[in-house]
């Protein structure tokens, strides 16, 4: 009988679609780097100090796969996980938009579906959890918007209001006027914000609040995984500079972020094709000539990119080990026994080039042929293309 889980893994590998299941079963190829990730996550949990890092790799060499491995590591450690691919819909230079996408891709430990709304709805007014969150929102954040919003959320009996307030915590921000009306109706008092909330200036309040919320819900921390960070290189000059500045908030988080570990996956060609060719150190100097703090943050991010550890191409022995796993999963997926040596599979996939992704897809094609016809020729998977860093137009829109 075929193994459905093995079939899911094979189909994920065949399509090239990132999969947590693949990350779970194919995590032994780069033991030094996976050990380093495990150690950094453990340090965040044990010390309470947030941390971040960048890993680089060539196109098709397994960066997304490594992020999925990190996802499984975090779950094993009882940490919440957010996974997002960067791009036009998830711009680092507009972190309030990034926050919304992150919340949509956030999983509490061992949850099959993303989201934390149901856990928030379980918190009732007057409970110790509600008191903790209200005290935190009143004392630890730059603005007190979240204090009044949380008070209104806990006290309202209006289902529509409640849904709007829950959506706000997921990144669909509501107006201060709605919060004030609800607060006044519940308490008979006026909500007096200490300052007007601006999503472009005060977005970190939400990240800090959610990191505290996850700890209150029993999580040992929060892991944020950013895939395809190289797409920053396709932004306009000003947007790139702002992206480097905001990335620093995750690479070297302030104390307001509680037990957060952030990991960016970046193409190893970014250093040459973007940082060098587009003169990024000069660009950030120009962009932040009157803002020394932003300049230091952007420069630090660029230097971290240059110094980031790289996923080295797997050697023959390591590649054969992965192909042996694929052979095992293919056999379990289709209930048969591939009678061929992993070394022979390696030779059959050589025509596809050096990329790990093409070797994996070539191996699956090889086993497909062997399964269907009893023999297999040379695989026809072509080498994959190289990423482009041609600039897109800056996305228009107001910061507030």
Question: What does pLDDT average to in each consecutive run of 10 residues of the chain (400 residues)?
Answer: 78 70 58 89 95 90 87 95 92 96 94 91 93 96 96 95 96 95 95 93 96 96 96 95 97 92 96 97 97 97 96 80 87 88 83 71 87 67 49 52
Backbone φ and ψ for 204, nearest 5 degrees, come out as: -65, -25
Pick left, alpha or beta for residue 284 (phi over 0 → left; psi -120 to 50 → alpha; otherwise beta): alpha
Orientation angle between helical segments 145-155 and 159-169, nearest 10 degrees: 140
Contact indicator for 359, 204 with CB cutoff of 8 Å: no
Q: Where are the domains of the chain?
A: 30-115+217-311, 118-202, 316-373
Q: Cβ distance 116 to 195 under 8 Å? A: no
pLDDT at 15: 73
Least Cα distance to 56 among 269, 274, 217 occurs for 269
Structure confidence at residue 400 (pLDDT)? 55
β-strand pairing of 106-107 with 80-85: antiparallel
Q: Give the burial class of 381: count Cβ atoms within 10 A of its Cβ; 0-12 exposed, 13-18 middle, 19 or more buried.
A: buried
H-only helix segments in the chain: 4-15, 20-25, 31-47, 63-76, 95-104, 117-121, 128-139, 145-155, 159-169, 176-187, 199-202, 204-216, 237-251, 270, 280-287, 292-307, 316-334, 342-348, 356-373
Other CB atoms within a 10 A radius of the CB of residue 297 amount to: 20
**Long-range pairs, 190-197, Cβ under 8 A, ≥24:** 191/148, 193/143, 193/144, 193/145, 193/148, 194/143, 194/144, 195/143, 197/143, 197/145
Task: Return the structure tokens found at 9.
Answer: 């893994």
Question: Residue 131 is encoded by which pair of tokens?
Answer: 């008191």
Position 89 scores a pLDDT of 86
**pLDDT reported for residue 24:** 56
Q: Which residues of 41-66 are buried (b: 16+ CB within 10 A; e: fewer)?
A: beebbeeeebbbbbbbbbebbbbbbb
pTM for the whole thing? Answer: 0.84
Exposure string over 324-343, b if 16+ CB within 10 A, otherwise e: bbbbebbbbbbeeebeeebe
pLDDT for the residue numbered 31: 78
What does the chain come to in residues?
400
Q: Which CATH fold would you assign to the domain 30-115+217-311?
A: Rossmann fold (3.40.50)
Report the alpha-carbon distance of residue 150 to residue 156 in Å, rounded: 10
Token pair in block for residue 167: 């959506």
- Please tell me the distance from the alpha carbon of residue 327 to that of residue 315, in angstroms, as a whole number: 18
pLDDT number for residue 19: 60
Nearest residue to 181 (alpha-carbon basis) of 200, 201, 160: 160
List, in order, residues 6 or more apart from 377 with CB less than 8 Å away. Answer: 369
Give the dihedral of Cα atoms 243, 248, 249, 251; nearest 10 deg.
Answer: 130
């Amino acid at each position: 009988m075929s193994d459905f889980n093995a079939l899911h893994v094979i189909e994920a590998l065949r399509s090239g679609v990132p999969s947590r299941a693949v990350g779970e079963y194919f995590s032994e190829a780069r033991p030094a780097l996976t050990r380093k990730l495990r150690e950094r996550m453990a340090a965040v949990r044990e010390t309470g100090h947030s941390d971040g890092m960048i890993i680089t790799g060539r196109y098709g060499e397994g960066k997304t796969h490594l992020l999925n491995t990190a996802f499984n590591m975090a779950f094993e450690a009882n940490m919440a996980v957010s996974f997002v691919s960067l791009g036009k819909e998830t711009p680092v230079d507009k972190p309030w938009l990034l926050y919304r996408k992150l919340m949509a891709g956030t999983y509490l430990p061992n949850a099959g579906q993303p989201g934390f709304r149901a856990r928030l709805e379980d918190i009732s007014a007057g409970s110790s959890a509600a008191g903790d969150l209200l005290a935190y929102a009143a004392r630890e954040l730059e603005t007190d918007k979240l204090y009044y919003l949380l008070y209104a959320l806990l006290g309202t009996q209006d289902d529509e209001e409640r849904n709007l307030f829950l959506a706000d915590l997921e990144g669909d921000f509501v107006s201060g006027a709605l919060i004030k009306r609800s607060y006044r109706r519940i308490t008979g008092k006026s909500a007096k914000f200490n300052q007007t909330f601006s999503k472009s200036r005060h977005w970190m309040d939400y990240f800090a609040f959610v990191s505290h919320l996850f700890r209150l819900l029993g999580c040992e921390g929060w892991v944020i995984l950013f895939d395809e960070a190289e797409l920053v290189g396709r932004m306009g000059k000003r947007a790139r500079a702002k992206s480097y500045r905001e990335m620093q908030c995750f690479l070297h988080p302030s104390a307001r972020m509680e037990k957060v570990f952030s990991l960016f996956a970046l193409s190893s060609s970014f250093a040459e094709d973007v940082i060098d060719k587009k003169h990024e150190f000069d660009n950030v100097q120009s962009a932040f000539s009157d803002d020394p703090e932003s300049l230091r943050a952007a420069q630090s991010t660029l230097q971290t990119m240059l110094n980031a550890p790289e996923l080295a191409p797997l050697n023959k022995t390591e590649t054969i080990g992965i192909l042996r796993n694929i052979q095992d999963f293919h056999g379990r997926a289709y209930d048969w026994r591939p009678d061929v040596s992993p070394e022979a599979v390696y030779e059959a996939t050589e025509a596809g080039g050096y990329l790990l992704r093409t070797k994996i897809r070539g191996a699956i094609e090889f086993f497909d042929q062997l399964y269907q016809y009893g023999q297999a020729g040379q695989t026809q998977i072509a080498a994959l293309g190289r990423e482009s860093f041609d600039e897109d137009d800056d996305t228009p829109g107001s910061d507030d």
